[in-house]
Amino acid sequence: MKIDNTFLYSTIALMLILPLFCIIIDLNLFQGNSVFISIVGKWFVFWAVGVRLLTAGLRQVINPSFTAQTIFHFKEKESHVIIRELGFANICNGIAGVLSLFIT
C-alpha cells in the first residue's frame, strides 16, 4: 500500500514537529511562569487536535474520495456522504482545538 507523501509529512509536522517547536519556544520565552504539562497540553491540543483535524475535515468535505479510497479502502461513491459527515465533525473538533489556544 502506497502512502501519499504529502499526507504523511503534514501529519508528522502537525502531530510532532510543530508542537515540539512551539513548546521549546514557549519554555524559553516564559521560563518559570507556567507548568510544563500545561505548555505541552496547550500546543499539542492546538496543533495535533485543532489544526490537524481542521485541515483533515476540510479535505474530507472538499475531496471525500481521498479518505474513502486511501484510508478506508472504500471504492463505492455512496461512502462519500459518510466521509463528508466525518469531515464536518472533524472541522467542529478542529475549531474547538484552535480556539483553545486563545481561551487558556
Cell 466521509 appears where? 83
pLDDT > 90? residue 98:
yes
Whole-model pTM: value is 0.85
pLDDT > 60? residue 1:
no
CA distance 36 to 38: 6
Secondary structure element (H or E) that encloses residue 87, with its range? helix 79-103
Question: Could you tell me the pLDDT band of residue 104, with boundaries at 50, 70 and 90?
Answer: low
- Say what percent of the chain tops pLDDT 90: 67
Q: What integer pLDDT is reported at residue 51 of this predicted model?
A: 97
pLDDT tens figures, 21-35: 999 998 888 766 668
